[in-house]
Amino acid sequence: MTLDLPLIWAGLIALAVLMYVLLDGFDLGVGILFPFARTPGERDVMMDSIAPVWDGNETWLVLGGGGLFAAFPLAYGVLAPALYLPLILMLLALILRGVAFEFRLHGRKRGKAFWTFAFAFGSLMATIAQGFVLGGFIQGITVSDGRFAGQPFDWLTPYTLLVSAGLVAGYALLGGCWLMWKTQDQLHGDARRWASIAGGATALLLGAVSLATLFVHPRIAHRWGFDQGAFDLAAFLPHLPIPLLGAVGLAIVFIGLAKRSHGWPFLGAALVFLSGYVGLAASFFPSIVPYDIDFRTAANADNALGLMLVGIVILLPAILGYTVWVYWVFRGKVSADAGYH
């Protein structure tokens, strides 16, 4: 039996990006919600809820980028120049909000105010930039001779702005649900309100992005059964579970909110993201640089993929294991922990 190494690695990179979106998604979302907190004390609690885990969360982004470099160098070498400006914007924003975790504790009056702003602004800009990257990716990349051959601002269209708005709403939903889960009292009540507003916005924008994708990108519409006004039920049906999963996720969010559940809405929000993510994957597969390069063409040499597979088979379970352990160590409500106050 021979292993289909490119396929396995496409799955692993997709898993890394999904882990990133879910995990850093909620801590970026907490940053997006930062300006809405009532008091500096509430902001401290918000930050405390993510401070022990944000670094691990962001490492999935490094695995996404480094993994793409290592497993699909052609895709890495085409996508990164094509999305140059949004990627640099994302990196700069992540720097500002990343150092803010520690700097905010050391700043005095003006310094603290600045790093509070930097954390919120950096989280928002990083999310917007990731929306540009995602939107630019869905729109397709101009490639010639294995190189990016488009213009610097190809990614900037009304469609990418819509995707960005959707991602901001989605991360805010994840962040709000996380805070409901991890906090109590007034902040918990505020988080519930933020989550319901962000949940509504996410539902609307997810619908709008889905429709816009069908209108703007006939190839994707075709795959989902919408072909120049005609509707092909046989093509659509296999994809039906994907939007259904999203609907179930939203239902869990809203029923959870209505029933004053603390933990369920976070699970629901994660399912909404999973549905959007699988929907994208189903729309593109097997493209890795839409729409010219498929994952097999972009894959690294088999001996490199094989060596890395040996490594990841051993290491990924260990990483997932200690990641779960760290979350377990920091389980429970933040403000209930006497050590913090």
Partner 1 sequence: MDFDAILLARLQFAFTIAFHIIFPSFTIGLASFLAVLEGLWLTSRREVFRNLYLFWIKIFALSFGMGVVSGVVMSYELGTNWAEFSKMASPVIGPLLAFEVLTAFFLEASFLGVMLFGWKKVGPRLHFTATVLVAVGTLISAFWILSANSWMQHPVGYEVIADGTLRATDWLTVIFNPTFPARLAHMALAAFLTTSLVVGAASAWQLLKDRMQPESGMALRMAIGMFAIVAPLQLFAGHVSGENVRAYQPLKLAAIEAYWTTRADQPQSVLGLPDRDARKTHYEVEIPGVGNLIQGAPKDEVLKGLDSWPREDWPVVGLVYWAFRIMVGLGFAMIGLGAWGVILLLRKRVEASPWFLRACVAMGPMGFVAVVAGWIVAEVGRQPYTIYGVLRTADSVSPVGPGQVSASLLAFMVIYAIVFSAGAIYILRLIAKGPAPELEQPPEADGRAPGSPLAAAPAEPEVAP
Q: Which positions from 113 through 152 interact with partner 1, judged by CB under 8 A? A: 115, 146-149, 152
The answer to whether the beta carbons of residues 195 and 253 sit under 8 Å apart is yes
- For the record, the structure tokens of 337 come out as 């922990």
Residue ranges in 22-41 that form contacts with partner 1 under rule CB under 8 A: 41
- Print the binding letters for residues 283-312 with partner 1: x by CB under 8 A, - otherwise: -----------------xx-xx--xx--xx
For residues 289 and 204, give the distance between their C-alpha atoms in angstroms, rounded to a whole number.
Answer: 28
Q: Output 58 or 252, the one with its CB closest to partner 1.
A: 58
Burial 172-197 (b: 16+ CB within 10 A, else e): bbbbbbbbbbbbeeebbebbbebbbe
- Tell me the closest approach of the beta carbon of residue 135 to partner 1, in angstroms: 18
Q: Are strands 287-289 and 293-294 parallel, antiparallel or unpaired?
A: antiparallel
- What does the DSSP assignment read for 224-244? TTEETTEE-HHHHGGGTHHHH
- Tell me the closest approach of the beta carbon of residue 174 to partner 1, in angstroms: 19
- Print the binding letters for residues 244-283 with partner 1: x by CB under 8 A, - otherwise: ----------------------------------------
Identity at 340, one-letter amino acid code: Y
Residue ranges in 67-106 that form contacts with partner 1 under rule CB under 8 A: 67-71, 73-74, 76-81, 84-85, 87-88, 91-92, 94-96, 98-99, 101-106
For residues 273 and 267, give the distance between their C-alpha atoms in angstroms, rounded to a whole number.
Answer: 10
| 315 is a site residue for partner 1 (CB under 8 A) | yes
Burial 103-134 (b: 16+ CB within 10 A, else e): bbeebeeeebeebbebbbbbbbbbbbbbbbbb
How many residues touch partner 1 under the rule CB under 8 A: the total is: 75
Q: Output 39 or 241, the one with its CB closest to partner 1.
A: 39
| 316 is a site residue for partner 1 (CB under 8 A) | yes
- Tell me the closest approach of the beta carbon of residue 39 to partner 1, in angstroms: 12
CB count within 10 Å of CB 3 equals 11
- Tell me the closest approach of the beta carbon of residue 52 to partner 1, in angstroms: 3
Contact region for partner 1 (CB under 8 A) — 43-51, 173-181, 199-207, 255-263? 43-51
